[in-house]
Copies of this chain bind each other. A is one copy, B any other.
Amino acid sequence: MNAHIDIDPVTIERRLLSLAAYGAYEDTGVWRPVYSPAWSAAQGQVAAMFQGAGLKVKRDVVGNLWGQLEGSSGGPSIVSGSHIDSQLPGGRYDGALGIVAALTAIEALKDRYGTPKRTLEAVALCEEEGSRFPAANFWGSRAVIGHIRQDEPHAITGYDGESMSEAMEAVGLDPGRVIEAARTDIGTFLELHIEQGPLLEQANLPAAVVTAITGLRRYVVDVAGRADHAGAVPMDLRRDAMAGAVEIIHGVLDTARAMGRPAVTTVGRIAAYPNYPAIVPERVTFTVDARHPDSRALAQLYERHETLFREVGSARDLAVTWKVPLDQPPVLCDPGLVATLKDAANVVAVPILTLHSGAGHDTQVMATRRRVAMIFVRSQGGRSHTPAELTTAEDAAAGARILAAALYALAY
């Protein structure tokens, strides 16, 4: 393959902005929940772009949109893409850039090298963020691997009270057919995505090859003590849920910090009850989100956190309990695909880092019985999930060149 394969930053930028018009939010953001009018219009635009690039367009029963370039020798497809939905509000790049990069890379290969041996497909997955239906995140990729149950569209409710099945019907999809989205003919999945962190910017590099996706566990911790009057009860007689909560929060953040990169722990959500300035809180609940890409280190991180929960409860005579609503093991990218991506970066002369992903991605879902890997491109300021997210057209094109070179190596 020619090192100078032509991925034009201007094309990437133009396509990205054409998608950003659907659900545009303020100057630079998007608000594009799954199955909304903005979402429908954006998928319509994707279909038009796929068709314009000469790909065969197919919309599946959950609204994933596929653009196929059929290969001459059959076999499982090699697929690249990402999700079309957004955070509320989100930025223009998270998800959408992976669709545009896949389309533009496959188009460039087709224009230059014609029909591949293996079938190539670009995909705009319908939903990843869980921003409208919290229980539905990874909806698009879960449908593809056959991990949606027949009754889920009726069981899942959105933040506004609407059911997933009503939302599907509103855009012309039959919620009774969701299980038909499953595909067994995909062999490889590659996703280009913005980094969402600052490491590429700090290294002054445009792109990275991703070797693993973090494991994570989400705790919801409940600390229960006794409500007391803020003036009438001495400190030494209180069973103050806030005092216990802050000792735990300080401890878990410090544990991750002391363990060092790439261990991370975040307490993003907190509530006190009854939440009055002059009442010692009876209960404080908060989330603890702990992540590490290595399963042994991850187990150690969890164990230290849970030990602290127990110790603080016992030392302060507080009832500390916790639930685990989310528990995802780390996903290793396929070593052979990772090597292919590194070779591809070398071919197209794009300098790269090797990173793990600290965020979840459709790739981790697709990893079930498929070879997967990812490319990250630089996020300015490490920002994501905000209208302020930004990836330059040059960095996006650099990532798309790696993708194109890898798809060439795999499919031609």
Cα–Cα distance between A265 and B234 once the two chains are bound (Å): 9
In the complex, chain A residues 356-391 whose Cβ is within 8 Å of any chain B Cβ: 357-360, 382, 384-386
Cα–Cα distance between A263 and B197 once the two chains are bound (Å): 44
Asked if B278 and A233 sit within 8 Å, CB to CB, the answer is: no
Asked if B281 and A268 sit within 8 Å, CB to CB, the answer is: yes
Asked if A235 and B253 sit within 8 Å, CB to CB, the answer is: yes
* A234 partner residues in chain B, CB cutoff 8 A: 197, 199, 261-262, 264
In the complex, chain A residues 57-94 whose Cβ is within 8 Å of any chain B Cβ: none
Asked if A173 is at the interface (CB within 8 A of a chain B CB), the reply is no
- Of A227, A230, A240, A250, most B-chain CB atoms within 10 Å: A230
Cα–Cα distance between A264 and B272 once the two chains are bound (Å): 19
* A276 partner residues in chain B, CB cutoff 8 A: 268-269
Cα–Cα distance between A382 and B234 once the two chains are bound (Å): 11
Report the minimum CB–CB distance from A203 to chain B (whole Å): 13
Interface size on A, residues (CB 8 A): 61
Asked if A211 is at the interface (CB within 8 A of a chain B CB), the reply is no
Asked if A277 is at the interface (CB within 8 A of a chain B CB), the reply is yes
Closest B residue to A355 by beta carbon equals B232
Identical subunits present: 2
Report the minimum CB–CB distance from A293 to chain B (whole Å): 10
* A195 partner residues in chain B, CB cutoff 8 A: 232
With contacts A253-B242, A278-B268 known, is A291 near B359, CB below 8 A?
no
Asked if A280 is at the interface (CB within 8 A of a chain B CB), the reply is yes
* A280 partner residues in chain B, CB cutoff 8 A: 266, 268
Digit string of A324-363 for contact with B (CB within 8 Å is 1, else 0)? 0000000000000000000000000000000001111000
Asked if A246 and B249 sit within 8 Å, CB to CB, the answer is: yes
Asked if B281 and A277 sit within 8 Å, CB to CB, the answer is: no
* A287 partner residues in chain B, CB cutoff 8 A: 277
Cα–Cα distance between A289 and B268 once the two chains are bound (Å): 24
- Of A232, A243, A287, most B-chain CB atoms within 10 Å: A232
Report the minimum CB–CB distance from A321 to chain B (whole Å): 17
- Of A198, A233, A277, most B-chain CB atoms within 10 Å: A277
Q: Can you give 8 A-B contacts (C-beta < 8 A)?
A: A196-B232, A228-B382, A231-B264, A231-B291, A231-B359, A242-B249, A266-B280, A270-B275
